[in-house]
Structure 1
Amino acid sequence: MKKYTPLTSLLLLLVINASFFESLNGAKILAIFPFSGRSQYICAENYLKALAARGHNVTVISAFPQAKPLQNFNDVPIVFESHDWSDIILDGNFPSISTWEALDLGIDFLTSSTRKVLEHPEVQKWLTNGDTFDLLIVEALEQDALYALAHHFKALLVGVSSFGTDIRIDELVDNVSPLSYIPAVTSHFTDHMNFYQRLESLYISVLDMLHYHYKILPLQYDLYREYVKNPTTDFMEIRKNFSLLLLNQHFSIGLPRPYVPNAIEVAGFHISHKPKSLPTDMEEFINASANGAIYFSLGSNINSKNLSKEKISILMKVFAALPYNILWKFEAPELPGKPKNVYISKWFPQADILAHPKVKLFITHGGLLSTIETIHYGKPIVGMAIMYDQFINMVRAEAKGFALSINFGEFTAAGLKSAILEVLQNPKYAQRAAEISRLYHDQPMKPLERAIYWTEYTLRHHGAPHMRVAARDLNFFEYHSIDTITVLFGVPLCLLVFTLWLMYKLMKIIARSWNVQNKKEKVN
């Protein structure tokens, strides 16, 4: 037997490892993030850049191409008209409509973005030529026709969810969200619900699934058949072929809950861990206040410039009365009557601002990316939830003790000022934000490192089928054990009913027999 010295063993190990990592380099990756909202793409941008930096050939379909070319990073730009939510959300007030009508609001948005990708000449060329990719990365948000492209490109399928998971995303990998303590994402509840809250959350979840299966999926299937030649007929099977889900959530910020092995929490993987220097004028403005600064933003979907004059007037009145400098994301070049302690800009490097030690408070709409960035840098918040998951994000933030919410549809100057001063002057909010931040950062690896690791793990192990639960092969009745429960309880019940019926019949026969006998005796 050939013997190996320690040196030759080390050299052999290095050769094996070198060939192992070389096998990962050059993976051909297609990423599709077609939404007009900048936040969805921000969520995945650092992740995609990191894959390119590790030697993978990354092609990205999005509305936000890179300003400067990057090595191994190829943009396929799509022109997608920005969705103007101000047509629906009037002055920070979501319309009073039913849950089903609210779900309908996203249909055009989802189908139009899907269509933009499928009709793109580059995508059609790939489909016609039979081009292949090693990996397809998609935003997991009801765009099932795009998931199905993985089958035609012979690619492994990885989903990225910018807001964690819900009952619809769970279905992609057969994850479990117990309805008893996992509230619907559009509810206003924590994981400790009373009976009526659980009932409402169940109602919302059922409507979500019905809407998804009977309105969204048929539209997605129609798009798939329209733009993909020789479409695979088993559309429902293809859409459940995810190898991995990367979820922008973490139990320190959200709630502790179960996950299947191929659903991975990566909250904060979009954040650069080395904050960049702020532009000189912003830096000077923040430092000019002895008490520090406040950052105010309503996110990328709601523009402050579209608020009513009354609301803008209230905001300016409150900000002018505060002994802090205010950075306000305001999308117009001018703000008549702007107080001297207010700095406006249509764009801010949000994470870098929150990293600044003199920024004391974030006034936010409560979007998940903003909430994660807040905790990443340990800052308290005043929340102004307006739509979708923002309400539940703020409910969780308040429950964890680092936030205070106000009703953005009806707030007053006195109420807003009181909330701001309460959070700034009561040390418990900043202390709790720092505590949650420590919990969030206490992880064995950085979120981006985790995302890269599991993505490459999927590539190394050819889709990692050993991580997929057997539930993906079960139908509805099998998955919920309806068939076995029916047998277990139904058969004995049927036997019991049959026995009682038989006894009843026998008793009637016996009673009739007695009656006949009694009549004969009386006659005699």
Structure 2
Amino acid sequence: MRPSCAWLALGLLLQLNLHLDLGQAANILGVFPYRIPSPFQMVRPLMRALVERGHKVTMVTPAGYPDDIDGVRHIRVAMLNQLMQTLMDNDQFVDALGDKWKEGVLASTIFYNVSHAILSDTGVQLMMRDRSERFDMIMVEASHLDALYGLAEFYNATLLGISCMHMSWHIDYLAGNLAPSVYEPVSPIGFALDHSLLSRAFNWVYITEEKLLERLVYRPAQVRLLKKFFGYPAEKLDELRSRFSVILVNTHFSMGRVRANVPNIIEVAGMHLSETPEPCGAELQNYLDEAEHGVIYFSMGQDILMKYLPENMQKQLLLAFSQLKQRVIWKTELSVLPNKSENIFLMDKVPQRMVLVHPNLRLFISHGGLQSVMEAIDNGVPMLGMPLFFDQFNNMHRVQLAGMAKVLDPNELSADTLIETITELLENPTYAETAKQMAESFRDRPMSPLETAIWWTEYALRNRDTSHMRLDVEEIPLMRYYRLDSLLTVGVRFAFVFGSLIFLGWRLYKKNRNRNRRLRERQMVFSQIQLRLRDYETAF
């Protein structure tokens, strides 16, 4: 009987474990409207890992982005693809660049159209009308697509944010991280990067304008969609914006920006590094292995085609590279470059991570995309940045301040400047040493970025109420939040001393003025007496 009892106990234990695993599985809906490949490098490994852990994942994405993930139900919104093409063909897009308010109005239109395209999509509508559908968690990009937050209320689900781009005051606000800051704009174009008092004042005005745009332009448009598709009042949006449980952000303090976060802002930079990199082909591998003087890798990312770069910039790059003794791998869709030297190797699709990890690689010349910067840091490779737009300026500025990179303006590029800068980066060992130190710091974590993201995602599933991880401004009086009480005390003391000095000065002035007045009166009386005495002597 004992063996039978043992087998029965083991069977019950296995059955109990099965039920426990099923109980931990969750239905997760991810809404990711990106129309470029790079953000999905962060999202894709997380979705795969959640499926492997038994969760049921549904993704709402554009057609073709990303490729189908095994075990994930995909709802493709073709209208998102059409919106991007329409935007690129619109002259208004070019006209708005450089004008914050025009950019804001255009961005509001884009956010409105994206939210409307998703919520009005046939597949999404069928999902919402299906009474058997339920979701335990809604994952959304923590951007200005506020109407999509209504899905969390609709399904009574946990709301989790993902930020594939840089941090901003807006993400801080959604996370309840309401620390006053002038360092985290939504759009870094035109944002001062130095820390002078004048620049801080300018940046405060800059971010104040962004907050006005958010409140006066972005939010009202999203409120209209919230009412149209969910029937919720405008007040519901404020509540939804405060319901973010956790926000996974694609950054890490080792990348050159140490910041104060509340506990529900989770730094998970490097999640895409958990995926197996694409191997080098035989020709590229030999080119790297046989490089006697090392290799320089030049890439402007996946989304910037070389043919659209200014012709003078291409000419200066070609002229500079041809004078180097190092071999150069040039990522370009062009199969032929005029006057190309023998040390330049052209490739359309480069296995970037395998190139960066090769021991002969000496320098990475890049536009400064977040994933590229991350991969350079992970492999300890010095960088030369030539940023063109959006977060690239800030990304390169951070690693330049850290000491592993230099930055050039691509609009004012010359072959001589390029050669001089490359020589400095290659021959000065400080850049390589700093890059290696940053790589060690970037990798030295208690858990991998993907494991961290999974743990906190499941933490949010286990704990629906995460208000204990947020800072709510209502809980902190304005006087205390901005330390106005101490400023008021100092101000009162200063005012008392300053007022006392003014009062004493005024009293001394009045006393001196009265004394002078009395002296003048005495002199006038004395003069009149003398005049009368003369008149009297003349009369007699």
For the aligned pair, the TM-score class normalised by the smaller chain equals: 0.7 to 0.9
> Residues 115, 291 of structure 1: CA spacing in aligned structure 2 closer, same or farther, 3 A cutoff?
farther
Tell me if 1:354 matches 2:356: yes
**Which residue of structure 2 aligns with residue 34 of structure 1?**
33
Tell me if 1:125 matches 2:126: yes
> Residues 401, 126 of structure 1: CA spacing in aligned structure 2 closer, same or farther, 3 A cutoff?
same
Higher relative contact order (CA 8 A, sep 6+): 1
- Which of 410, 414, 417 is the aligned partner of 2:416? 414
The answer to whether the 8 A contact 2:178-2:471 is kept is: no
**Which residue of structure 2 aligns with residue 49 of structure 1?**
48
Q: For residues 93-242 of structure 1, what are the structure 2 equivalents within 5 Å?
A: 97-104=98-105, 106-130=107-131, 131-179=133-181, 186=188, 193-226=195-228, 228-233=229-234, 234-242=236-244
Task: Give 1:457 shift.
Answer: 0.9
Task: Give 1:149 shift.
Answer: 1.8
> Residues 172, 358 of structure 1: CA spacing in aligned structure 2 closer, same or farther, 3 A cutoff?
same
SS of the equivalent of 2:208 reads: helix
Residue by residue over 1:359-402, the C-alpha shift from the partner in whole angstroms, topping out at 9 and shown as x without a partner, is 22111111222211110111110011222222222221111110
User: CA–CA distance in 1 between the matches of 2:259 and 2:10?
Assistant: 43
SS of the equivalent of 1:157 reads: strand
The answer to whether the 8 A contact 1:247-1:266 is kept is: yes
Q: For residues 239-318 of structure 1, what are the structure 2 equivalents within 5 Å?
A: 239-272=241-274, 274-318=276-320
The answer to whether the 8 A contact 2:256-2:401 is kept is: no
Residue by residue over 1:395-443, the C-alpha shift from the partner in whole angstroms, topping out at 9 and shown as x without a partner, is 2111111000101111111111211221122211111100111111111
**Which residue of structure 2 aligns with residue 503 of structure 1?**
none
> Residues 183, 150 of structure 1: CA spacing in aligned structure 2 closer, same or farther, 3 A cutoff?
closer
SS of the equivalent of 1:382 reads: strand
> Residues 389, 403 of structure 1: CA spacing in aligned structure 2 closer, same or farther, 3 A cutoff?
same
The answer to whether the 8 A contact 2:170-2:186 is kept is: no
SS of the equivalent of 1:29 reads: strand
Instruction: Report which stretch shifted further, 29-38 or 64-73.
Output: 64-73
> Residues 116, 66 of structure 1: CA spacing in aligned structure 2 closer, same or farther, 3 A cutoff?
closer
**Which residue of structure 1 aligns with residue 23 of structure 2?**
23
Residue by residue over 1:33-88, the C-alpha shift from the partner in whole angstroms, topping out at 9 and shown as x without a partner, is 11212212222211111111211111112236578754422222233145677989
SS of the equivalent of 2:38 reads: helix
The answer to whether the 8 A contact 2:162-2:249 is kept is: yes
Q: For residues 337-376 of structure 1, what are the structure 2 equivalents within 5 Å?
A: 337-376=339-378
The answer to whether the 8 A contact 1:183-1:198 is kept is: no
* Number of equivalent positions: 478
User: CA–CA distance in 2 between the matches of 1:12 and 1:258?
Assistant: 48
The answer to whether the 8 A contact 2:332-2:347 is kept is: yes
- Which of 401, 413, 433 is the aligned partner of 1:431? 433
Task: Give 1:281 shift.
Answer: 3.2
User: CA–CA distance in 2 between the matches of 1:95 and 1:338?
Assistant: 38
**Which residue of structure 2 aligns with residue 512 of structure 1?**
none
Q: What one-letter code is carried by the residue in structure 2 that aligns with 1:63?
A: P
> Residues 50, 379 of structure 1: CA spacing in aligned structure 2 closer, same or farther, 3 A cutoff?
same
Structure of higher CA gyration radius: 2
SS of the equivalent of 1:264 reads: strand
Residue by residue over 1:221-245, the C-alpha shift from the partner in whole angstroms, topping out at 9 and shown as x without a partner, is 233334x143354222223211110
User: CA–CA distance in 2 between the matches of 1:452 and 1:480?
Assistant: 39
> Residues 371, 67 of structure 1: CA spacing in aligned structure 2 closer, same or farther, 3 A cutoff?
closer
Q: What one-letter code is carried by the residue in structure 1 that aligns with 2:24?
A: L
Task: Give 1:103 shift.
Answer: 4.1
User: CA–CA distance in 1 between the matches of 2:332 and 2:201?
Assistant: 40
User: CA–CA distance in 1 between the matches of 2:404 and 2:239?
Assistant: 43
User: CA–CA distance in 1 between the matches of 2:354 and 2:432?
Assistant: 18
SS of the equivalent of 2:298 reads: strand
The answer to whether the 8 A contact 2:356-2:379 is kept is: yes
> Residues 94, 414 of structure 1: CA spacing in aligned structure 2 closer, same or farther, 3 A cutoff?
farther
SS of the equivalent of 2:273 reads: coil
SS of the equivalent of 1:261 reads: coil
Q: What one-letter code is carried by the residue in structure 1 that aligns with 2:77?
A: I
User: CA–CA distance in 2 between the matches of 1:300 and 1:107?
Assistant: 26
Tell me if 1:397 matches 2:399: yes
User: CA–CA distance in 2 between the matches of 1:484 and 1:338?
Assistant: 62
SS of the equivalent of 1:245 reads: strand
> Residues 68, 106 of structure 1: CA spacing in aligned structure 2 closer, same or farther, 3 A cutoff?
closer
Task: Give 1:470 shift.
Answer: 3.6
> Residues 345, 146 of structure 1: CA spacing in aligned structure 2 closer, same or farther, 3 A cutoff?
farther
Residue by residue over 1:111-148, the C-alpha shift from the partner in whole angstroms, topping out at 9 and shown as x without a partner, is 33323322221111122234321111111121111122
The answer to whether the 8 A contact 1:331-1:345 is kept is: yes
Q: What one-letter code is carried by the residue in structure 1 that aligns with 2:130?
A: N
Q: What one-letter code is carried by the residue in structure 2 that aligns with 1:174?
A: G
The answer to whether the 8 A contact 2:191-2:206 is kept is: no
SS of the equivalent of 2:442 reads: helix
Task: Give 1:463 shift.
Answer: 4.7
User: CA–CA distance in 1 between the matches of 2:483 and 2:387?
Assistant: 44
The answer to whether the 8 A contact 2:169-2:185 is kept is: no
Task: Give 1:178 shift.
Answer: 3.4
SS of the equivalent of 1:392 reads: helix
Instruction: Report which stretch shifted further, 363-372 or 291-300.
Output: 291-300
Q: What one-letter code is carried by the residue in structure 2 that aligns with 1:251?
A: F
The answer to whether the 8 A contact 1:144-1:217 is kept is: yes
Structure with the higher helix share, 1 or 2: 2
User: CA–CA distance in 2 between the matches of 1:59 and 1:103?
Assistant: 31
Q: What one-letter code is carried by the residue in structure 1 that aligns with 2:142?
A: A
User: CA–CA distance in 2 between the matches of 1:359 and 1:483?
Assistant: 49
RMSD of aligned Cα (Å): 3.7
The answer to whether the 8 A contact 1:303-1:330 is kept is: yes
The answer to whether the 8 A contact 1:375-1:437 is kept is: yes
The answer to whether the 8 A contact 1:135-1:155 is kept is: yes
SS of the equivalent of 2:217 reads: helix
User: CA–CA distance in 2 between the matches of 1:86 and 1:422?
Assistant: 42
The answer to whether the 8 A contact 1:148-1:239 is kept is: no
User: CA–CA distance in 1 between the matches of 2:191 and 2:66?
Assistant: 39
The answer to whether the 8 A contact 1:31-1:61 is kept is: yes
Q: Identify unmatched segments of 5+ residues in structure 1.
A: 1-8, 497-524
The answer to whether the 8 A contact 1:179-1:198 is kept is: no
